[in-house]
């Protein structure tokens, strides 16, 4: 009988995909010890996700990947939806300038992106990566979480203890099962054949940049699939029709037959072809004491907004700053209850948005397709829902119209120093104001709250104005127009870039700090250590 190894870590993570990688990196940068366990010996080599939005691009930059990202991503095009006659039903401009700076969406080749993630994680001496170890048992006591893993090659068992265990282990998560609570099924699913193609060098394909071809004869998706070493991949997705089986579509010859109207066999290499069932599932419970879940373990969504991986990385970014406070002893574990309060409704809204778009294209019935077309052309079709923001948790309240919005981001500068706001001012809690006076006249109560939150401060002034010692010029015009549009004089931004709350001109900006500290205390914040 093999002797068990016993280890103790701050955090253990089951699974080693992008959600696990970014969670491990965020925790490691906080100085935490992390152990990762993945049942496969090697990382998954084929692409799945193909895009990241502006918010996630900002997160990756904050984690130190700004210089590498341009080589592994490219700006998204206009995302257009056509009927069978190639008449436009709707369009989403993914190339538009975002609130975070840069385009709304960037396309990526997931294996290349993950190589960048993996290299960053492996550079952290406080992260232990264990490939070829399958999680077989999950448990917990009042003092620790317990994970039993088994070596896939020889059956050796190892027992790991940790303060918190995170399941980033996909839709069939063993950690979610241990948490309990089941899943909500929103009832939207469909089988699609996904084909990734690498055009041969010198080949230019005469195809839409990014499109949903809503033809009932064969609903089809055509999108970019990222870049590797300067070469651009493409993706097609074909809906399985009622008379077909998944096996019919997974035949390589059949896959090429479906591709041939768009790309010929001598023009490209087929990287992979696989039938996936897209579903719309949401875990009912994301935390049970020391056990938590993130990514596909918590939510599975249709692909039509390209938000599957993005939603998982949002989980990471939301949970990481809260875990930091708990693991540092600055907050009770009850703070982690706000993770589900904030993230589950947001993920649910993103699923609903993806379902709205998916139901436009997943129409194999010609009569229903004609009804759909008429609804769009007559203006009777409801517009797509707005992309969601935070609606609960650590926010100032319903009376604060800015609470829960994503904060703006762009280049700022002063005294010869220029750079992106996060790079030159820093991340964490940040109090941003258009008024020097709002920050210079801070009373002791507000100053104490500022110290308790370990918050930074910044005054934003127009480009070309005298910034002073605390000020920063709004070089890209990101901050001041946003604040003017929302009637904001001063706003408090959380570590995950969402606005806790804001006040207008003539209102007390110091109340933001006091209220935030009070809300955090209700959720478990302790007094700062002397």
Task: Indicate the pTM of the whole model.
Answer: 0.95
Residue 224 has pLDDT above 60, yes or no: yes
pLDDT, position 436: 87
Percent of the chain with pLDDT strictly greater than 70: 98
pLDDT, position 439: 81
* Residues 18 and 154 placed together within one structural domain of the fold: yes
Give every CB contact of residue 369 below 8 A, 6+ residues apart in sequence. 83, 84, 214, 215, 216, 363
Tell the burial category of 34 from Cβ atoms under 10 Å away from its Cβ (0-12, 13-18, 19+): buried
Averaged pLDDT, 441-445: 84
Averaged pLDDT, 328-335: 96
End-of-domain residue from the set 296, 331, 360: 360
Give the CATH number, domain containing residue 23: 3.50.50.60
Least confident of 8-22, 112-126, 337-351, 505-519: 505-519
Residue 117 in any domain: the answer is: yes
End-of-domain residue from the set 344, 360, 376: 360
Instruction: Report the C-alpha gap between 226 and 528 in whole angstroms.
Output: 45
Instruction: Report the C-alpha gap between 339 and 25 in whole angstroms.
Output: 19
* Residues 150 and 294 placed together within one structural domain of the fold: yes
Residue 230 in any domain: the answer is: no
* Residues 440 and 335 placed together within one structural domain of the fold: no
Residue 312 has pLDDT above 80, yes or no: yes
End-of-domain residue from the set 345, 360, 375: 360
* Residues 324 and 179 placed together within one structural domain of the fold: yes
Instruction: Report the C-alpha gap between 526 and 528 in whole angstroms.
Output: 6
Residue 180 in any domain: the answer is: yes
* Residues 321 and 441 placed together within one structural domain of the fold: no
Residue 334 in any domain: the answer is: yes
For 237-251, write each residue's pLDDT tens digit: 999 999 999 999 999
Residue 446 has pLDDT above 50, yes or no: yes
Tell the burial category of 480 from Cβ atoms under 10 Å away from its Cβ (0-12, 13-18, 19+): middle
pLDDT, position 77: 95
Instruction: Report the C-alpha gap between 382 and 241 in whole angstroms.
Output: 26
Residue 528 has pLDDT above 70, yes or no: no
pLDDT, position 129: 97
The pLDDT-based confidence of 5 (bands split at 50, 70, 90) is low
Give the structural domain span for 431.
411-522
Residue 86 has pLDDT above 90, yes or no: yes
* Residues 345 and 422 placed together within one structural domain of the fold: no
- Cβ atoms of 129 and 36 closer than 8 Å: yes
Residue 507 Cα distances to 459, 490, 510, angstroms = 16, 9, 9
Residue 530 has pLDDT above 80, yes or no: no
| b/e code 197-220 from CB counts within 10 Å (16+ = b) | bbbeeeeeeeebebbbbbbbeebb
* Residues 306 and 435 placed together within one structural domain of the fold: no
* Residues 58 and 150 placed together within one structural domain of the fold: yes
* Residues 429 and 302 placed together within one structural domain of the fold: no
Residue 86 in any domain: the answer is: no
Q: Across 84-174, where does the E strand assignment appear?
A: 88-93, 105-108, 127-131, 133-140, 145-151, 157-167
For 139-169, write each residue's pLDDT tens digit: 999 999 999 999 998 989 999 999 999 999 9
* Residues 36 and 113 placed together within one structural domain of the fold: yes
As for how many domains the chain has, the answer is 2
CB atoms within 10 A of CB 446: 20
Residue 114 in any domain: the answer is: yes
For 275-294, write each residue's pLDDT tens digit: 999 999 999 999 999 999 99
Averaged pLDDT, 487-506: 96
Mean pLDDT of the chain: 94
* Residues 309 and 442 placed together within one structural domain of the fold: no
pLDDT higher for 429 or 47? 429
Residue 65 has pLDDT above 70, yes or no: yes
* Residues 318 and 465 placed together within one structural domain of the fold: no
Percent of the chain with pLDDT strictly greater than 90: 89
Averaged pLDDT, 78-91: 96
Least confident of 102-116, 335-349, 418-432, 516-530: 516-530
Residue 82 in any domain: the answer is: no
Residue 320 has pLDDT above 50, yes or no: yes
Give the CATH number, domain containing residue 421: 3.40.30.120
Residue 386 has pLDDT above 50, yes or no: yes
Instruction: Report the C-alpha gap between 361 and 368 in whole angstroms.
Output: 11
For 335-346, write each residue's pLDDT tens digit: 999 999 999 999
Residue 482 in any domain: the answer is: yes
């Amino acid at each position: 009988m093999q002797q068990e190894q016993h280890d103790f870590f701050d955090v253990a993570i089951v699974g080693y995909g992008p959600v696990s990688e970014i969670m491990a990196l965020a925790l490691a940068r906080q100085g935490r010890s992390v152990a990762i366990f993945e049942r496969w010996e090697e990382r998954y080599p084929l692409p799945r996700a193909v895009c990241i939005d502006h918010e996630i691009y900002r997160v990756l930059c904050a984690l130190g990947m700004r210089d590498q990202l341009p080589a592994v991503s490219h700006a998204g095009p206009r995302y257009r939806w056509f009927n069978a006659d190639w008449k436009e039903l709707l369009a989403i401009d993914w190339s538009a300038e975002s609130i975070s700076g840069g385009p709304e969406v960037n396309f990526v080749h997931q294996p290349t992106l993950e190589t960048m993630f993996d290299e960053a994680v492996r550079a952290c001496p406080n992260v232990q990566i264990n490939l070829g170890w399958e999680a077989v048992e999950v448990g917990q006591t009042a003092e620790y979480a317990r994970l039993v893993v088994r070596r896939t090659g020889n059956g050796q068992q190892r027992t790991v203890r940790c303060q918190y265990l995170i399941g980033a282990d996909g839709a069939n998560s063993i950690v979610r099962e241990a948490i309990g609570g089941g899943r909500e099924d929103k009832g939207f699913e469909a089988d699609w054949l996904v084909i990734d193609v690498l055009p041969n060098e010198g080949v230019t394909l005469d195809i839409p940049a990014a499109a949903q071809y809503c033809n009932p004869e064969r609903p089809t998706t055509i999108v970019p699939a990222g870049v590797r070493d300067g070469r651009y991949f493409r993706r097609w997705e074909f809906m399985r029709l009622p008379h077909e089986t998944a096996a019919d579509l997974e035949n390589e010859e059949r896959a090429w037959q479906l591709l041939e109207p768009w790309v010929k066999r001598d023009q490209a290499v087929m990287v992979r072809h696989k039938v996936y069932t897209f579903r719309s599932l949401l875990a009912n419970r994301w935390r049970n004491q020391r056990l938590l879940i993130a990514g596909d373990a918590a939510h599975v969504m249709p692909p039509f907004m390209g938000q599957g991986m993005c939603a998982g990385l949002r989980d990471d970014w939301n949970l990481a700053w809260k875990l930091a406070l708990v693991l540092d002893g600055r907050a009770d574990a009850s703070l982690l209850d706000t993770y589900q309060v904030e993230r589950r409704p947001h993920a649910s809204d993103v699923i609903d948005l993806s379902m709205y778009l998916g139901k436009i294209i997943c129409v194999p019935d010609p009569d229903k397709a004609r009804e759909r077309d008429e609804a769009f052309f007559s203006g009777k079709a409801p517009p797509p829902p707005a992309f969601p923001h935070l609606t609960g948790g650590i926010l100032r309240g319903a009376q604060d119209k800015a609470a829960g919005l994503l904060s703006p981001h762009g280049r700022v500068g002063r005294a010869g120093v220029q750079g992106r706001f996060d790079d030159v001012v820093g991340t964490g809690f940040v109090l941003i104001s258009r008024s020097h006076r709002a920050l210079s006249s801070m009373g002791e109560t507000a100053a104490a709250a500022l110290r308790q939150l370990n918050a930074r401060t910044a005054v934003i002034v127009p480009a070309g104005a005298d910034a002073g010692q605390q000020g920063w010029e709004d070089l890209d015009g990101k901050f001041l127009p946003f604040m003017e549009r929302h009637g904001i004089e001063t706003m408090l931004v959380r570590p995950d870039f969402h606005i806790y709350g804001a006040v207008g001109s003539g209102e007390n900006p110091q109340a933001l700090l006091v209220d935030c500290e009070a809300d955090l205390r209700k959720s478990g914040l302790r007094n700062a250590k002397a």
